[in-house]
């Protein structure tokens, strides 16, 4: 069974949730020619948990399996191909401090495996070469290497891994680290350019209806499909009938499961990242790589993550309970409901935002946490609201990172992505499961409307979204190497 936009009768698909999972499916099925309705409770699309990088190869997570790493690598490559204008092309440094119990060389076997897999994928199809040349996938640096690199001046447009390493070598307290340090082609990702891409693409799809400010109230089976009741922006009750239903409700996936009568075990975790401005970084106009300082999760020495954007703006994670993690922030579903219940104080943050006092306290804590490794970062300032939200994790393993979709009955699917790079594969699996549509050889040919979007239009729309949502426009601007 094949579908295209010339089909006379096309099945209808309703998608509940306009985050990255829901919008990717809406784009995919709209491009295939299906009649799609996307319901989103918020005022715009892709406005959920903080997204800052691809997780190509899963290098940031030492506790996940090699199989998950390879799955994330494949999915990330497909994601770059589908959303090329949303990526910030700059590498990532992974460093192991003395405060961490791990050893840097423990990362090497997995890096070699991922590099080999990437090489094989590129050999199969040159379109897979979106993470730089396979031979340059990663590089190791000794302390002596970094001391020599620190003497250099970064070129205006860094191109090599050594060029990108210069600000790290200059500003990091190298005595705090074990060696070698790893630099890997793990790219950044702008959630605002993702949102802009989704909106611009779906606006051009005549067979897709986007209903924002629309909150689902109930779901009933019709025998041949589903009847949905929702309230619109004026709080008026509306009805929608559809042949197929995709649950892409993110951390609220269990609510729709309860409506449908499907019992599922899952976890939900609340997290936050912090927006900072570093006057020194802006003044020197150095382009930083992302930097990960490993550390045991949930302890005062938890992982510290520095994500660079334009104009001296940096996003920070600190995997401690005083920064990114929260007391009671990881919850499980129960025998009574598929929906895990976050504490009311965390739900209030999602619905109403943060107090100025907590914003200041946690951002300052994140700055201090980073400055133990990059001392001059102490001069960084609060740069705006945190990026925050909750994510679902299917099952009971909080370390799960590679996940996509599950099915219940003939016409109900739930997208269970943990990392945003899994969303296209999830949509493709739904298309194959329901309609026998095999994964297309060419992502570009299958998504011609999305491929036609212009980088400047996406960036301009994204900058508008930062203003609407109250964030610095640096989070929307293209950062890193220009795509050739």
Please state the domain extents for the chain.
12-48+192-265+396-475, 87-105+138-189+266-390
pLDDT of residue 7 exceeding 60:
no
CATH code reported for the domain at 12-48+192-265+396-475: 3.50.50.60
pLDDT (0 to 100) of residue 285: 79
- Over residues 421-441, the mean pLDDT reads 89
Strand pairing class (208-211; 35-39): parallel
Q: Confidence class of residue 60 from pLDDT cuts 50, 70 and 90?
A: low
pLDDT of residue 163 exceeding 90:
yes
pLDDT of residue 73 exceeding 90:
yes
Q: Are 219 and 93 in contact (CB under 8 A)?
A: no
Q: Confidence class of residue 474 from pLDDT cuts 50, 70 and 90?
A: very high
Q: For a pLDDT cut of 70, what percent of the chain falls above it?
A: 95
pLDDT (0 to 100) of residue 8: 52
pLDDT in tens, 385-407: 999 998 888 888 777 666 779 99
Q: What's the pTM value of the predicted model, to 2 decimals?
A: 0.93
46-50, 339-343, 421-425, 447-451 — which is least confidently predicted? 46-50
- Over residues 75-87, the mean pLDDT reads 94
140-144, 233-237, 389-393, 442-446 — which is least confidently predicted? 389-393
Q: Which of 311, 315, 314 is nearest to 284 (CA)?
A: 311
pLDDT (0 to 100) of residue 484: 38
pLDDT (0 to 100) of residue 162: 97
Q: Mean of the per-residue pLDDT values for the chain?
A: 92
Which CATH number is 87-105+138-189+266-390's, of 3.30.9.10, 3.40.50.300, 3.40.50.1370, 3.50.50.60?
A: 3.30.9.10
């Amino acid at each position: 069974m094949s579908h295209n936009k010339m089909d006379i009768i096309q099945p209808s698909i309703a998608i509940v949730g306009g985050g990255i999972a829901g919008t990717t499916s809406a784009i995919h099925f709209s491009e295939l020619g299906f009649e799609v309705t996307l319901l989103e409770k918020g005022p715009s699309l892709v406005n959920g948990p903080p997204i800052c990088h691809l997780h190509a190869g899963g290098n940031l997570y030492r506790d996940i399996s090699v199989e998950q790493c390879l799955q994330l690598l494949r999915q990330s490559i497909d994601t770059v191909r589908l959303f090329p204008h949303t990526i910030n092309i700059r590498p990532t440094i992974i460093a192991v401090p003395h405060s961490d119990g791990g050893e840097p060389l423990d990362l090497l076997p997995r890096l070699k495996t991922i590099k080999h897999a990437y090489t094989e994928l590129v050999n199969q199809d040159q379109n897979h070469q979106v993470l730089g040349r396979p031979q340059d996938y990663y590089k190791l640096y000794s302390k002596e290497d970094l001391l020599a690199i620190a003497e250099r001046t970064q070129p205006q447009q860094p191109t090599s891994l050594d060029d990108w390493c210069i600000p790290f070598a200059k500003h990091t307290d190298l005595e705090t680290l074990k060696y070698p340090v790893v630099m890997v082609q793990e790219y950044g990702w702008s959630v605002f350019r993702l949102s802009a891409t989704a909106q611009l693409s779906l606006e051009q799809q005549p067979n897709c209806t986007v209903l924002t400010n629309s909150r689902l109230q109930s779901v009933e089976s019709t025998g041949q499909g589903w009847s949905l009741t929702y309230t619109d922006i004026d709080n008026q009750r509306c009805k929608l009938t559809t042949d197929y239903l995709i649950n892409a409700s993110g951390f609220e996936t269990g609510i729709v499961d309860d409506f449908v009568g499907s019992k599922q075990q899952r976890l939900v975790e609340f997290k936050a990242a912090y927006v900072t401005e570093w006057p020194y970084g802006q003044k020197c106009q150095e382009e930083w790589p992302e930097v990960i300082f490993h550390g045991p999760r949930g302890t005062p020495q938890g992982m510290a993550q520095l994500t660079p954007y334009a104009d001296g703006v940096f996003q920070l994670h600190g995997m401690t309970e005083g920064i990114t993690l929260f007391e009671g922030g990881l919850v499980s579903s129960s025998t009574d409901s598929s929906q895990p219940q976050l504490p009311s104080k965390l739900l209030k943050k999602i619905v109403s935002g943060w107090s100025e006092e907590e914003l200041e306290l946690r951002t300052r804590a994140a700055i201090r946490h980073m400055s133990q490794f990059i001392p001059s970062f102490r001069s960084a300032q609060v740069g705006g609201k945190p990026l925050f939200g909750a994510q679902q994790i299917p099952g009971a393993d909080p370390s799960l990172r590679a996940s996509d979709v599950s099915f219940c009955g003939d016409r109900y699917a739930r997208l269970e992505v943990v990392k945003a790079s899994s969303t296209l594969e999830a949509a493709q699996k739904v298309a194959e499961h329901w309609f026998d549509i095999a994964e297309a050889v060419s992502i570009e040919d299958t998504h011609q409307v999305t491929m036609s979007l212009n980088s400047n239009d996406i960036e301009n729309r994204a900058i508008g979204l930062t203003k609407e949502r109250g964030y610095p426009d640096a989070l929307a601007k293209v950062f890193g190497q220009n795509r050739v």
